[in-house]
Amino acid sequence: DTEVTQTPKHLVMGMTNKKSLKCEQHMGHRAMYWYKQKAKKPPELMFVYSYEKLSINESVPSRFSPECPNSSLLNLHLHALQPEDSALYLCASSQEGRGGGNTIYFGEGSWLTVV
C-alpha cells in the first residue's frame, strides 16, 4: 500500500467551481510534488515543494494554486478550470538531499473531470 495518500479519488467540477486536492505523507520526506497525467501519456511535473517552500513551478497556469501547510501535507487548489485540465493528478514525495537517486514515491492519484 502506498504511503502517500490522496483525496478525493475522483472529482467532478464545473468550470466556475473552487475545489482542492489533498495529499498526505508520513514518511518524513521533505520534498513533495504535484504531477499531471493525461491519458496514455507519462506524468508531467507541475510543482515541487522543498522544506515547505515552493521550489519549482513548471509554468503552470494560475488557476492551479499549490499550498504546503506543513511537511506532511500538500494541497492543490483549483479554480476556474477548463475541460482540458481533466486528468489524473498525482502527488509524490521524496527524501531531500544533494545526492542523486532520491526515489520519488507517488500516491494513488486523483481523477479530475472538468465539465
Footprint of another protein (CB under 8 A): 2, 31, 33, 41-43, 45, 48, 50, 55-56, 88, 90, 92, 94, 98-109, 111
Q: CA 7 to CA 1: how far, in whole Å? A: 15
Q: Which residues contact 34 (CB under 8 A, 6 or more apart)?
A: 23, 45, 46, 47, 64, 66, 74, 76, 89, 90, 91, 92
Of 25 and 94, which CB lies nearer to another protein in the complex structure? Answer: 94
Residue number with CB closer to another protein (16 or 53): 53
To the nearest whole angstrom, how small is the minimum distance from the Cβ of residue 63 to another protein? 22
